[in-house]
Amino acid sequence: NIDEPENIRINEETMVFIPIGPPLTAHDLERMQAKKDALIRRQIQRREEQLIKKNERLITAIDNQNECRLYEEYTAQRR
């Protein structure tokens, strides 16, 4: 029965979980799953955006390093 307390063992300790409120319906579970899926999609999108920004910064740093190296070669040749 869903209204009964549930004993769960975690790391040698028994935890008691007591359900609060009315039992969840199939619609409630679907809504919770949809929220979870939306959260996961947002997290994935945020990680992808962070990776894109990181790659852009790396490309800029490499370009700057190449420009600096070319300038040093140019000044070394002019001496």
The 10s digit of each residue's pLDDT in 65-76 is 999 999 999 999
Statement: the pTM of the whole predicted model exceeds 0.85? no
49 lies in a domain? yes
2-41 pLDDT tens trace: 556 667 777 777 777 667 778 888 999 999 999 999 999 9
65 lies in a domain? yes
In degrees and rounded to multiples of 5, residue 9 shows phi and psi of -90, 130
In degrees and rounded to multiples of 5, residue 24 shows phi and psi of -75, 140
76 lies in a domain? yes
11 lies in a domain? no
Query: Can you give the pLDDT at residue 1?
Result: 46
Residue 59 has pLDDT above 80, yes or no: yes
Domain total in the chain = 1
Query: Can you give the pLDDT at residue 22?
Result: 81
Q: 60 lies in which domain range?
A: 37-79
Residue 79 has pLDDT above 50, yes or no: yes
Evaluate whether 2 touches 23 at the Cβ level (below 8 Å): yes
